[in-house]
Chains A and B, each alone.
Chain A
Amino acid sequence: MKALILTVAIITCLGLVLAVVLYLVAKKFRVEEDPRIDEVEKVMPGANCGGCGYAGCRAFAESAVKADNLDSHFCPVGGNDVMAKVAGILGFEVKAKAPAVAVVRCNGTCANRPRVNEYDGIASCKVKASLYSGDTACAFGCLGCGDCVAACQFGALSMDPETGLPVVDEEKCTACGACAKACPKAIIELRPKGPRGMRVYVSCVNKDKGPAAKKACAAACIGCGICARTCTHEAIVLENNVAYIDPAKCKLCRECEAMCPTGAIHGINFLKPLDKEAVKARIQARKEKKEEK
């Protein structure tokens, strides 16, 4: 019995002494941390996706607290709401950014782009791209192994078995950019979502000259420049035999889409389907009017 009491007493005393030591040490070597880091981290989405360019939400918060302004910090997942909260905590002003979405710029479906050889290696775009240009005659298009799907942490991408191309679920896409980084062919672009999701873009990145591009894929941009000549807003630039629509300048008139001879320009989320003939007639009438003048 005596031994028992002695044991309890010694352990208790030891505990008390060590507690005091621990308290003093903690006090002495305390690391001062900005309490705002925790606050900022709390309002972050917590996905740790790395879309902002930092290792995770904590790293983003640490960097944001130290920064002079929030120009180089943006959480694509949380968007403007989260950034407004972060700015509130840190006392900065932040400009609202247009929400973006991942856009797959390839329309080389199985029907449009015939396979010219058979790939029997492992299902990884990265490996496939390190070996050769791909199993179609287009050296720029989607390789179809789904590296982007594997990279997406939000389940926003899936492969369409019919076309062999990835499909973006706009509701789920947070525009973190992981898919764009994973794509060895740099096909995926983050574009502003546009009003009610409406946007017009060139769904092709083929830099080959017209005949070669057309031979490889029926829906390729052949670099003919009709779209650039048609556009009245100077939104389209033609470079390296491929057109690019600047989302900042595009007014969504869809004239380029109607004029594109290969259907490489896509307009999506519009309420009405495009009446190509009507748009063409409108362009023709405008041309005639111009000539009259």
Chain B
Amino acid sequence: MARRTFSIGGVHPHDSKISRECPIEPLPIPPVVYISVSQHIGAPAVPVVAPGDKVKVGQVVAEPGGFVSAFIHSSVSGTVKSVGPRKDLAGNNQTHIEIAVEGDEWLETIDRSETLVTDIPDDNKAILDKIRLGGIVGLGGATFPTHVKLSPPPGSKCERLIINGCECEPYLTSDFRTLLEKGEQVVVGAAILKQVLGDVPCTIAIEENKPEAIAHIKEVIAILSAASPKFAGMEVLPLRKRYPQGGEKQLIDAVMHRQVGSGALPISVGAVVQNVATSLAVYDAVLKGKPIIDNSVTVTGECFLHQANLLVRVGTPLQFILDYLGGIPEDAAKVISGGPMMGRAVANLDAATLKGTGALLLLTEKQTRRRPETNCIRCGKCADACPMGLEPFLLQKLSRLGDVEALEENAAQDCIECGCCLYSCPAGIPLLDIIRTGKGAALAAIRARNVKK
């Protein structure tokens, strides 16, 4: 078998999947949840509940604030206590809906049984509507509203659906567990997405460090495709382990050998990429009537005794999750939301989880210590590692100088913030931190120009 992967850059951090044997278990419902109105890329949602309102699980609490936006549903049943600013993971104010939990009463329209439904309706428009109303966003990290991604602009045609099961970030295991435990649902969800996109072939890409998942999904596809023609044209593609394979553009390169141009969308090369967790959420929304009210979160770290993959209700305070698993160990120095490469240190443990919160990682002081910064020795390791083919050593210099024009010329806006440059720099230069500010400036300049036009 050809060991496929993407062609430019990339690094090989140790995968540290220490929580891979932990089955997904539901976390008890916290006494209070705080549901943010900004859980997706795009315009924040507009709250439609007021203090004192009674809500049930799955009830809409905020409506989209624009085309690129998403519905937000209550993850618990109880009474709305307040709607107002609260500090998010980064410590900035964000409107949250506070709900005091009373019991666990779900909307009657949600099918809570475990039975697998494989009967995919034929009406694509109705399916898209269900995805939109279910508040489905890309759960791979970017949280881009899924219904927008599934409505390609006129003139472009999708040729292949890629389901992203790479989970290339070290430590993260929630997608792996989802593939093992909910493989059937993921495949049915993928079949729904594939049908909406016009019966295109579908590839489920999984990295080789998850052989159990590869075998299981192959088996599921074999069984389902024998039962119904709707599951034809689906395949599993094992990929060589390499970071950042789960990046949208990298994955398209690995699977289809096509390069997405600077500033272009994946659809321009005929690809649509969806995450495993998104696929499961689509299955739930379309066939079970269940919007996104919970997601699986990996809680892990070497210093942490109780590794776990938890099914967490959206809006659960981080402190509640950590307390459930025995509290923060003494030698933990940082709590990171997400993986070690792209995740961000949490400034505030009172903050609540979002739809896109995939992991909580606890690292010790030794693990998070930064190397002292020394001068750039022009070794070019960062340029070798950059999966977007950029020159991080140059971009960091330009970012420091604030030369927006040159930043744009050197494609700082294409940076995917994967952290490969910083990981590979022998001089300990915090390349990504600096380039991120330059990327912001370049994007702002491009936006300003587009508005003028």
Contact = CB atoms under 8 A, between A and B. Distances in A.
A119 to B, nearest CB: 9
Which of the four size classes fits the interface of chain B? 10 to 19
16 contacts: A120-B368, A120-B369, A121-B370, A122-B373, A127-B430, A127-B437, A130-B433, A130-B437, A131-B90, A132-B90, A133-B90, A134-B91, A139-B91, A139-B93, A208-B93, A209-B85
Nearest to A140: B93
A110 to B, nearest CB: 18
A133 B91 contact: yes
Contacts of A193: none
Contact of B345 (A132, A137, A208): A132
Contact of A132 (B344, B368, B436): B344
Contacts of A209: 85
| Chain B facing A: main interface SS | mixed
B347 interface: yes
Contacts, number: 49
B434 A122 contact: yes
A139 B87 contact: yes
B440 interface: yes
A122 B430 contact: yes
Contact of B440 (A116, A122, A130, A207): A130
Interface string B354-373: 00000000000000111001
B407 to A, nearest CB: 14
Given A130-B440, A133-B87, A133-B347, A122 B433 contact: yes
A139 B87 CA distance: 9
Contacts of B434: 122, 124, 127
A126 interface: yes
Interface in B184-209: none
A127 B91 contact: no
Interface in A122-173: 122, 124, 126-127, 130-134, 137, 139
A50 B368 CA distance: 40
A209 B87 CA distance: 12
A52 B345 CA distance: 40
A117 interface: yes
Given A122-B373, A127-B437, A132-B90, A117 B430 contact: no
Interface string B415-430: 0000000000000001
Contact of B430 (A121, A133, A134, A208): A121
A117 B347 contact: yes
Which 8 A-B pairs rank lowest in CB-CB distance, beginning with the nearest? A133-B91, A132-B90, A132-B347, A127-B433, A133-B92, A126-B437, A122-B430, A132-B91
